């Protein structure tokens, strides 16, 4: 029996589409040829070897039940209609074409938007600014139901009403986003370095102009990040991942779940690191990156320079170092209601330094 005939009969046999005549022929061939028999046995073993089951069915069903509850109130009837016969080939071609067109236009678009010209084309209507000063936090609910909690010294630029095909906001500083899911209208956050495209989700963005790095931490859902100077790189974050973008470096390191695996990337661009978020206690759901939304200033093995920058925003003060060596001190702790002096005194317990308060400036020496 030729190889093609063997493939045909084996295929029919495995898929249970074999006629009894063909089956007899197949059995005869196998009986006469040991190598075919061996091959069919291996094929059949592979065929029966089914791939792994997906585990979280119970949780998935809970989600469905809650979705149904939510929708039964709002829209009692929605129809899903399978696409009519005969259109599918076109759909495939269309899908391929759309990929190309959208890919090109995205590149073009992402360039223009970051230059600030793209606003009018996507969203008409007035824009609003929300600024928070030091010690100040603010929660904004946008017209689409998205909740944004703005940390101190941050500003958010958002439209009074979303009208275009995409929902866009501009952020400087730190904010926690709980984006209302709407597949029809992707949500995009522009920051100095990154553009974050949201696929329905909750996450934290930190992008202060004076900080050496920008961070995005994803709590749930999925988001896609593009960097201004590397528009072709799309970094997709999965839950519990954190992306740190360093300013003004030229190499790429991709770090995943604390395991380092340097990527080979010779092209110049911003350095970024993908890591997991910091759980405060293993059994605890509290997450360092979002602790500020619960009015806590939490730091874990953080250097004094970074901590001072956060304390400046937290307490609305200015902290100046007279001795650069002290910037390297590392601290771990949590502030909730402490005053600035209590906070500094607590730090002095572990490291040797002095401080002096003059008006709203604090000198560390």
Partner 1 sequence: MRDRKVDTLKLWKLICNNDDENAFELFFHILNNSLIKFCVLYVHQREIAEEIVSDVFVKCWLNRKNLIEIQNPETYLFVAVKNQSLNHIKKYSTIHLVQIEETNSVEFVNTYNPQKEIENKELIFRMDQAIAGLPQQCRIVFRLIKEDGMKYKEVAEILNISPRTVQTQLFRAIKKLSVILTQYNKHHESPLKPIQSTF
Which listed range, 128-136, 232-240, 282-290, 333-341, lies at the site for partner 1 (CB under 8 A)?
A: 232-240
Cβ neighbour number for residue 150 with a 10 Å cutoff: 21
Which residues ranging from 144 to 173 are in contact with partner 1 (CB under 8 A)?
none
77-97 b/e (C-beta count within 10 Å ≥ 16 → b):
eeeeeeeeeeeeeeeeeeeee
Kindly state whether residue 120 participates in binding partner 1, applying the rule CB under 8 A: no
Kindly state whether residue 332 participates in binding partner 1, applying the rule CB under 8 A: no
Cα torsion angle, 136, 139, 142, 146, sign: positive
d(CA 354, CA 95): 65
d(CA 314, CA 245): 23
Residue 334's H or E segment, with its range, is strand 330-335
Which listed range, 5-13, 287-295, 314-322, 335-343, lies at the site for partner 1 (CB under 8 A)?
A: 5-13
Closer Cβ to partner 1, 218 or 308, answer by number? 218
What is the DSSP secondary-structure string of 34-77? HHHHHHHHHHHHHHH-PPPPP--HHHHHHHHHHHHHHHHHH-S-
Closer Cβ to partner 1, 86 or 116, answer by number? 86
Which listed range, 13-21, 279-287, 308-316, 334-342, lies at the site for partner 1 (CB under 8 A)?
A: 13-21
Applying CB under 8 A, among 1, 22, 25, 106 the residue interacting with partner 1 is: 106
Closer Cβ to partner 1, 70 or 286, answer by number? 70
Kindly state whether residue 7 participates in binding partner 1, applying the rule CB under 8 A: yes
d(CA 126, CA 140): 16
Kindly state whether residue 111 participates in binding partner 1, applying the rule CB under 8 A: no
Closer Cβ to partner 1, 110 or 152, answer by number? 110
**Total of residues contacting partner 1 (CB under 8 A):** 72
d(CA 26, CA 42): 16
Q: Strand, coil or helix: what is 323?
A: coil
Kindly state whether residue 309 participates in binding partner 1, applying the rule CB under 8 A: no
Applying CB under 8 A, among 24, 28, 38, 345 the residue interacting with partner 1 is: 38
Applying CB under 8 A, among 19, 20, 79, 337 the residue interacting with partner 1 is: 79
Which residues ranging from 185 to 204 are in contact with partner 1 (CB under 8 A)?
186, 197, 199-200
Contact 141, 169 (CB under 8 A): no
Least separation in angstroms between residue 6's CB and partner 1 is 8
Least separation in angstroms between residue 206's CB and partner 1 is 23
Least separation in angstroms between residue 29's CB and partner 1 is 13
Which listed range, 61-69, 118-126, 266-274, 278-286, lies at the site for partner 1 (CB under 8 A)?
A: 61-69
d(CA 261, CA 265): 12
Applying CB under 8 A, among 2, 19, 21, 78 the residue interacting with partner 1 is: 78
Kindly state whether residue 20 participates in binding partner 1, applying the rule CB under 8 A: no
Kindly state whether residue 19 participates in binding partner 1, applying the rule CB under 8 A: no
Applying CB under 8 A, among 24, 28, 32, 67 the residue interacting with partner 1 is: 67
Contact 208, 191 (CB under 8 A): no
Which listed range, 85-93, 115-123, 241-249, 295-303, lies at the site for partner 1 (CB under 8 A)?
A: 85-93
CA distances from 54 to 12, 48, 57, 218 (A): 28, 17, 7, 23
d(CA 210, CA 149): 20
Q: How far is CA 11 from the centre of its chain?
A: 43
Applying CB under 8 A, among 8, 144, 192, 318 the residue interacting with partner 1 is: 8
Which listed range, 84-92, 114-122, 204-212, 328-336, lies at the site for partner 1 (CB under 8 A)?
A: 84-92
Q: Which of 272, 171, 290, 169 is nearest to 226 (CA)?
A: 272
């Amino acid at each position: 029996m030729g190889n093609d005939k063997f493939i045909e009969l084996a295929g029919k046999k495995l898929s249970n589409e074999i006629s009894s005549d063909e089956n007899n022929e197949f059995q005869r061939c196998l009986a006469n040829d040991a190598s075919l028999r061996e091959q069919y046995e291996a094929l059949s073993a592979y065929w029966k070897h089914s791939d792994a089951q997906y585990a979280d069915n119970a949780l998935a069903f809970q989600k469905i039940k809650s979705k149904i509850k939510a929708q039964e109130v709002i829209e009692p009837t929605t129809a899903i209609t399978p696409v009519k016969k005969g259109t599918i080939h076109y759909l495939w071609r269309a899908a391929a074409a759309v990929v190309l067109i959208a890919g090109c236009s995205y590149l073009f678009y992402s360039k223009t938007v970051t230059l600030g010209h793209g606003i009018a084309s996507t969203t008409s209507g007035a824009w609003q600014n929300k600024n928070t000063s030091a010690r100040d936090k603010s929660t904004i609910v946008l017209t689409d139901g998205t909740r944004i909690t703005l940390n101190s010294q941050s500003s958010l630029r958002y439209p009074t009403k979303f009208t275009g095909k995409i929902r866009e906001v501009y952020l400087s500083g730190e904010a926690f986003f709980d984006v209302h899911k709407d597949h029809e209208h992707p949500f995009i956050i522009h920051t100095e370095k990154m553009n974050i495209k949201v696929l329905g989700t909750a996450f934290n963005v930190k992008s202060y102009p004076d900080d050496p790095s920008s961070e995005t931490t994803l709590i749930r859902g999925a988001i896609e990040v593009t960097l201004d100077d590397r528009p072709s790189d799309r970094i997709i974050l999965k839950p519990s991942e954190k992306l740190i973008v360093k300013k003004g470096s030229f190499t790429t390191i991709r770090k995943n779940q604390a395991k380092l695996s340097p990527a080979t990337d010779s092209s110049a661009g911003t350095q970024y690191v993908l890591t997991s978020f910091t759980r405060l206690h293993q059994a605890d759901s509290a997450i360092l990156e979002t602790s500020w939304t619960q009015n806590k200033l939490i730091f874990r093995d953080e250097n004094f320079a970074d901590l001072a920058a956060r304390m400046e925003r937290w307490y609305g003060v200015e902290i100046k170092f007279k001795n650069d060596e002290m910037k390297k001190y590392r601290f771990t702790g949590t502030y909730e209601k402490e005053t600035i002096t209590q906070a500094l005194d607590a730090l002095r317990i572990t490291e040797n330094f002095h401080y002096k308060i003059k008006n709203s400036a604090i000198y560390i020496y």
